[in-house]
Amino acid sequence: MKKKLILRKTHFLFKPKLTKKKHMLTTTNFVGFKLMKTVCFTSKEEDYLKLTILKIFKKLTLIYRPKIFFYFHKIYSHTKLPLEARMGKGKGEITNNFGYYQKGIILFSITKLTLLEAYKFQIYFNKKNILKVKITK
- Residue at 21 is within a domain: no
- Residue at 17 is within a domain: no
- Residue at 18 is within a domain: no
**11, 14, 15, 20: CA torsion to nearest 10:** 130
Predicted pLDDT at 86: 79
Q: How many CB atoms lie within 10 A of CB 107?
A: 21
Domain count of the chain? 1
Predicted pLDDT at 90: 75
Query: Which pTM value belongs to this model?
Result: 0.67
Domain extent at residue 60: 30-79+92-136
Residue 132 belongs to domain with CATH number: 3.90.1170.10
Give, for all 137 residues of the chain, the pLDDT tens digit.
555 555 555 555 555 554 555 666 666 577 888 888 888 888 888 888 888 888 877 776 666 777 888 888 777 888 888 888 877 777 788 888 888 888 888 888 888 778 888 888 888 888 877 778 888 87
